[in-house]
Structure 1
Amino acid sequence: MGAITWGPEIAAVYDTVNAAQSAPSVLGPMVDMLSQLAGDGRALEFAVGTGRVALPLSDRGVPVQAIELSPHMVDRLHGKPGADRVPVTIGDMTTTRLPGQFRLVYLVANTIMNVTTQEEQLAVFVNAAAHLEPTGCFVLEVIVPQLRRVPPGEVARVFCLDPEHVGIETFDDVVGQVAWSHHWFEVDGRLVRHSAPYRYVWPSELDLMARLAGLRRRARWAGWDRQPFKSDSESQVVVYEKPLAGEPGAPPG
């Protein structure tokens, strides 16, 4: 499988290096939207990680289940308050199937790109659609590729230059849309280095994957605050819905 699994070293520092993403100003709008879309139904998170989103969503009263490829990340989740209310299945989000249907399936923090082939990214959409009840939603949060920021003749760019984090991405396979993300983190006085490939995906490509999976786009915003998506937006939050049988966009049969 063309996917990235976080090992024990990264799992151990994941919450520390991503602490800003757990701030109420970041999580609040995200959990607001997800809880609204879930309503009185169940939610399923693909790639739950250490539970940054699943736990506060569960605290809102939404029944949440999850799939996660890395057992090391799940170990971290299990050590947090409320983890007993979020059952996690170890498996990959392209094929792992849970019983029943869900009102909401969501995949955040650019994790669709951790699946590094187009075929398997499409399989994520197909698996999400298979878990959804009619009129249910699949929500994606992912960056917009920033190739225009790479000067002509160069193959890399620095995307983060902070005292505690240096991040460089290299565009290694433009045909396959595979790049590498390289990070150097300062954590508790030591340097942690991490590099991994990802497959960047364009907004129109996401929409086509959704159509092939029997979903249709309901909305695309520049972020969780629902600001309009524009040609220069650097990120996107997309809501796809599963049509009722017989409606336009519904799969045959």
Structure 2
Amino acid sequence: MERLAEVLTAIEFGGNPLKQPFKQALKEKDEVVLLTTTLDVTKSQLEVALGRGDYDAVYFDGQHQPISDHKIVEFCAITEELRIEAQMRLPHTRHTYLVGRFCDFGLSSIMVPEVLTEETVHEALEYFYYGTMGRRSWGGIQRAGMAWAFDNRPSRLEYAEWWNNYAVLAIQIESVEAVANARRLADRPGIDYVAFGPNDLSFSLERHSNFPLTTTEECFRNVAEQLDPIGIKRCLAIAIPPEDRDKWREHGISVFWEAARY
């Protein structure tokens, strides 16, 4: 662990100092910001966008836009070179068993959409983490950190320990069922934060007219009451300019998306 701490705080890669790891930022910073971009962004475009602010990770959507394995590998090669962590939203809730495979392409963070059940959370944890925390399969030469986090090629156990202390797993709450059970879903080792999908949550509220909470804002506050005591941050999974964030801070949001400007 001492070696891990040294790497995470002191290493340089390509002349760029390593930022505070995303997982550490979620624990220690008051607010965290992800830059949202597209999978086909170029290195020069991403450099311009990252230069416009202080970002803790970059995000692209694998649920509502076309993706390919090769494009994910290319995207992650760019983010590794620029020393910024990469998150993808899974194509579908039922793809949680594939989280390890996607991470083998270079991602260090996954968001699981439309989480409803504890079984989904358990499966995501099982296939995201290694060893005692999960059952992710060993392999993948493009994995995050392989090019910079170790003096020599790491052993299986060395890399597993590093990954389990570095990678970020998020679940997305987009239904009244998930709101009602937010603590039960999120209160377990390995879940780093929770994200709200306000549009699908609105659909769910409209379908459940007898649910005691009637607006997305009421849902945000209710989940804050459940998760604040255990220190799990919440994200609003839509891009919000810095000048418009105060309203959402009042509802307990502290992880923000910001749209890339090239």
Q: After TM superposition, is the score higher than 0.5?
A: no
- Give TM-score, length-normalised by structure 2: 0.36
Could you say which structure has the higher helix fraction? Answer: 2
Could you say which structure has the higher strand fraction? Answer: 1
- Give TM-score, length-normalised by structure 1: 0.37
Larger relative contact order (Cα-Cα within 8 Å, sequence gap ≥ 6)? 2
